[in-house]
């Protein structure tokens, strides 16, 4: 049994027992803390915490690893509820095309984008894909991420989608952190189905879904609902079929255009609606009173130069907000939630406390990990971020080029 005691913690953030399952609206401004604190873990489970003044010491020191934090602070690990971590190659040539004036949509229309990544996926074996993805997950851990949702979607054939999902399954077993798998066969129409959408949708529904269900390869189902990709009606049909085999919807909507995808996804019981660079009053009204988490991806806005989602308005209207990286080779080659933290504060005008709620408890909700992750609460098994010495929470998004994570403690 591993026993860890962290003492002399400068500030313990996001700590307590009275958290709701998600933090909404005004309440996002508040992060409960304990200053000059201790924290005890047993086999990675939070057993005790409190102020050093109330610490009664330990009678039996055998087998206890003591970490003297001496001014370092502690947060629950970030949860990253939206990534495309399993991919074959980076796409910096498209980055240069954008610098030279092309848009993401123009590049996609000439065969770049998702189809570019799908073509390249075949160049790597399952083992190679796993090794590459594992390196990426380790890098995420070094940057403070303690749980990751990973989508398929760069396969776009039965064989290749299953290959990605098997890699994700192995990451679940070997990464040492919680991983959730999302089936995103409906990421783009392969070239050969450009004129026959129904045939590709049939392939997803009649061939991919049964195999995925049989092998237990996914927790969630995603569709990229967007012009030139999947229509609202196509999304509804695919999500409904996914639900029949137990997959919960979690979708890409409103990245470039508003098509009514938010309403359709909420009505189908989506756990989260992600992107939302574009949104309108109807989207906000539909989300009110739902159990669906609006999830913003500011790394994507930064990198492909599109508007930032109006998270401020969502919060003002009393909604919760979560944040994720969207880590992928096309729109967000950034796996680092600390960068997302900073972008959310600088570009979306979230306060550091609002952003921390969005990166921890609300992000945990958006990937079905409320029971174990997102807060420092008794019985939870979230990894713990031990920061480098920082005087305030705001210093993390403020000093945006630095890695503020000393290490994750399990």
Which residues line the annotated binding site for Fe(3+)? Answer: 82, 84, 252, 326
One residue of 80, 234, 326, 353 binding ligand NIG per CB under 6 A: 326
CB of 327 to Fe ion, least distance (A): 8
Please, which residue, 251 or 369, has the CB nearer to ligand NIG?
A: 251
One residue of 157, 331, 351, 370 binding ligand NIG per CB under 6 A: 331
The residue of the chain with the least Cβ separation from Fe ion equals 326
Give burial (CB, 10 Å; 0-12/13-18/19+) of 381.
middle
DSSP state of 204: I
The packing angle between helices 352-359 and 337-348, to 10°, is 140
CA distances from 301 to 96, 278, 331 (A): 17, 11, 8
One residue of 320, 330, 374, 383 binding ligand NIG per CB under 6 A: 330
Please, which residue, 12 or 273, has the CB nearer to Fe ion?
A: 273
Tell me how far apart the alpha carbons of residues 333 and 84 are, in angstroms, rounded to a whole number.
10
Least Cα distance to 140 among 104, 176, 182, 165 occurs for 176
CA distances from 38 to 50, 72, 409 (A): 6, 11, 14
Residue 149 lies near Fe ion (rule: CB under 5 A): no
Q: Where is 385: in which H helix or E strand?
A: strand 384-389
DSSP 6-41: EEEEEEEESB-S---SS-BGGGGG---EEEEEEEEE
CB 294 within 8 A of CB 273: yes
Residue 328 lies near ligand NIG (rule: CB under 6 A): yes
Under rule CB under 5 A, which residues in 323-362 are in contact with Fe ion? 326
Q: Which two tokens stand for residue 48?
A: 């005790």
**CB under 5 to 8 A by kind: which of Fe ion, ligand NIG, none does 117 bind?**
ligand NIG
Interface stretch with ligand NIG, choices 55-63, 135-143, 325-333, 351-359 (CB under 6 A): 325-333
Per-residue contact track with ligand NIG, 245 to 284, x per CB under 6 A?
-------x--x-----------------------------
CB of 322 to Fe ion, least distance (A): 14
Q: Give how many residues touch Fe ion by CB under 5 A.
A: 1
The residue of the chain with the least Cβ separation from ligand NIG equals 330
For the annotated binding site for 4-imidazolone-5-propanoate, the residues are: 91, 154, 187, 255, 331
Residue 80 lies near Fe ion (rule: CB under 5 A): no
Residue 182 lies near ligand NIG (rule: CB under 6 A): no
CB 224 within 8 A of CB 201: no
For the annotated binding site, the residues are: 82, 84, 91, 154, 187, 252, 255, 326, 328, 330-331
Per-residue contact track with Fe ion, 199 to 218, x per CB under 5 A?
--------------------
**CB under 5 to 8 A by kind: which of Fe ion, ligand NIG, none does 331 bind?**
ligand NIG
Give burial (CB, 10 Å; 0-12/13-18/19+) of 35.
exposed
Q: What number of helices (H) and strands (E) belong to the chain?
A: 16, 15
Interface stretch with ligand NIG, choices 24-32, 242-250, 324-332, 361-369 (CB under 6 A): 324-332
Residue 300 lies near ligand NIG (rule: CB under 6 A): yes
399 CB contacts (<8 Å, ≥6 apart)? none
Please, which residue, 330 or 352, has the CB nearer to ligand NIG?
A: 330
Q: Where is 290: in which H helix or E strand?
A: none
Count the Cβ atoms, other than its own, within 10 Å of residue 234. 19
Residue 117 lies near ligand NIG (rule: CB under 6 A): yes
For the chain, the distance separating the N- and C-terminal CA atoms, rounded to the nearest angstrom, is 12
CB of 368 to ligand NIG, least distance (A): 19
Q: Which residues bind Fe ion (CB under 5 A)?
A: 326
Q: Which residues bind ligand NIG (CB under 6 A)?
A: 113-114, 117, 224, 252, 255, 300, 326, 328-331
């Amino acid at each position: 049994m591993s026993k860890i005691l962290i003492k002399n913690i400068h500030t313990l953030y996001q700590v307590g027992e009275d958290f709701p399952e998600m933090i909404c609206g005004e309440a996002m401004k508040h992060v409960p803390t304990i200053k000059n604190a201790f924290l005890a873990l047993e086999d990675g489970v939070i057993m005790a915490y409190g102020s050093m003044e109330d610490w009664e010491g330990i009678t039996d020191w055998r087998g206890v690893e003591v970490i003297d934090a001496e001014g370092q602070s502690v947060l629950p690990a970030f949860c990253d509820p939206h990534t495309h971590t399993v991919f074959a190659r980076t796409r910096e040539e498209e980055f240069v095309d954008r610098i030279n004036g092309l848009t993401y949509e123009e590049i996609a229309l000439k065969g770049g984008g998702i189809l570019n990544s799908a073509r390249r996926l075949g160049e790597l074996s399952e083992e190679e894909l796993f090794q590459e993805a594992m390196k990426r997950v380790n890098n995420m851990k070094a940057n403070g991420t303690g749980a990751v949702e990973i989508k398929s979607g760069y396969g776009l054939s039965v064989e290749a989608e299953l290959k990605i999902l098997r890699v994700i399954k192995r990451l679940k077993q070997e990464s040492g952190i919680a991983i959730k798998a999302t089936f995103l066969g409906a990421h783009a129409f392969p070239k050969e189905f450009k004129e026959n959408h129904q045939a590709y949708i049939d392939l997803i529904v009649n061939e991919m879904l049964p195999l995925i269900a049989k092998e237990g390869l996914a927790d969630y189902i995603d569709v990229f609902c967007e012009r030139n990709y999947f229509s609202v009606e196509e999304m509804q049909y695919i999500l409904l079929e996914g639900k029949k085999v137990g997959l919960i919807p979690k979708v890409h909507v409103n990245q470039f255009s508003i098509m009514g995808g938010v309403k359709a996804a909420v009505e189908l019981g989506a756990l989260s609606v992600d992107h939302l660079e574009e949104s309108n009053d109807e989207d906000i009204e539909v989300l009110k009173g739902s159990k669906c988490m609006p999830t913003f991806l500011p790394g994507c806005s930064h990198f492909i130069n599109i508007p930032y989602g109006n998270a401020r308005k969502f919060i003002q209207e009393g909604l919760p907000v979560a944040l994720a990286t969207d880590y992928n080779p096309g729109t967000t080659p950034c796996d680092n939630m600390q960068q997302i933290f900073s972008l959310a504060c600088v570009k979306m005008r979230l306060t550091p406390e609002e952003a921390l709620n969005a990166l921890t408890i609300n992000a945990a909700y958006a990937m079905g990990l409320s029971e174990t992750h997102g807060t420092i609460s008794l019985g939870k098994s979230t990894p713990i971020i031990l920061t480098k010495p920082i005087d305030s929470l705001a210093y993390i998004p403020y000093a945006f080029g630095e890695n503020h994570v000393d290490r994750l403690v399990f």
